Amino acid sequence: MIRLGIVGCNYGRLVHAPAFRLDERCRVVALAGTDAPRTEALAREASIDKGYGDWQRLVDDANVDAVTIATPPALQPQIAQRALALGKPVFIEKPMAADIAGARAMLDAAHSSRRPAMIDFTFYEIESWRRMKAMLDAGAIGALRHVMVSWHVENQSTRLRLRNWKTTAQDGGGVLGNFVSHCFYYLEWFCGPINGLSARISPLPGSDGALEAMAAMTLAFRSGASGSLTMSNAAYLGSGHRVELYGEDGTLVLANTTLDYMRGFTLHYAKRPAEALALVPIDDPAERLYPDGRIAPVSRLAKRFLDAVEQGEGGQPDFQDGYRVQQLIAAARTSHDQGRWLDMEKQA
């Protein structure tokens, strides 16, 4: 039995806990937050044995074998480094840190400990996404020409004009950390390495420039394909999340117009000489089992993490993947700040 401690009373409690509990090998034994009485009450409510008012007590607990972390990015490095130094495997949220230095320290700690260290990039655990990846790899659309991502939604933090990590860049969040970090990971998963980009980040009007609302990017891939990305977290009744892959011989399109970030994706495909896209039938019963659409995909990552813990070796996606995304986030901010195209190959 792997005894798991969870740092984070929001996403950690609401998503990590039920996702990991789906695996019989795991028992959630501790929860850590910043307010001891509140955390103790939430732990009791969730049938978790211990509730701690600070993360260090949880990480240092001899009865905790592995740690998951769901805190703002700026807090993750010190927690992960402490757990890894104690030989405890770690599962974290994206982005892994607030900056390159923090991400590098986490990556070095993972290498030194040689313990499993994984990061929660969730979209590629959705069945429709995995089907598109398999079709792409099998040559369904031929050589890739162009990829287009549009993700236009309104999140609660923006709607309420809250100044927290999800809306501001200072702690590693904002539009890049909260949303585009996902895009960077899955774009390279689908299309291979990004070797150049140009980015523009726009504030929410009326927020004195403090709240990030939109990012627009042009991308170049090592394969020779090009890309474009627009992301808005301030789009009331927006068009949702859409990924379009255009190849020499055909087109693949993933689209989700619902308010659920994980559920609701459809996959359409056309190959020359078809005149219209056709629906690719996909059914994933697990998506319908849980009230929160994030639980099913995270449970698949949780299984791989627990496999890695049992086998004593790393699982995917790992801290190297997280560090790569952190490099791309830093490159996008540099491109915006300097108003220029950034060659990633020269930055490496």
Q: Which domains does the chain have, with CATH numbers?
A: 2-122+295-316 (3.40.50.720), 125-290+327-343 (3.30.360.10)
Query: What is the reported pLDDT for 208?
Result: 86
Q: Which helix (H) or strand (E) holds 307?
A: helix 295-311
Q: Mean pLDDT throughout 164-171?
A: 89
* pTM score of the predicted model: 0.96
Residue 171 has pLDDT above 90, yes or no: no
Confidence of residue 78 (pLDDT cuts 50, 70, 90): very high
Q: Which residues face 67 on adjacent strands? A: 5, 90
Nearest-CA neighbor of 284 among 303, 299, 271? 299
pLDDT in tens, 24-53: 999 999 999 999 999 999 999 999 999 999
Query: What is the reported pLDDT for 287?
Result: 84
Residue 228 has pLDDT above 90, yes or no: yes
**Alpha carbons 68 and 142: distance in angstroms, whole number:** 40
Query: What is the reported pLDDT for 210?
Result: 87
Which of the two residues, 310 and 288, has the higher pLDDT score?
A: 310
Confidence of residue 209 (pLDDT cuts 50, 70, 90): confident
Q: Mean pLDDT throughout 105-133?
A: 97
Q: Mean pLDDT throughout 194-203?
A: 97
Q: What angle do CA 119, 121, 123 make, to 5 degrees?
A: 160
Residue 197 has pLDDT above 60, yes or no: yes
Query: What is the reported pLDDT for 348?
Result: 57
The mean-pLDDT minimum among 42-56, 160-174, 271-285 falls in 160-174
Nearest-CA neighbor of 329 among 95, 142, 102? 95
**Mean model confidence pLDDT for the chain:** 96
Residue 276 has pLDDT above 70, yes or no: yes
Q: Mean pLDDT throughout 87-108?
A: 97
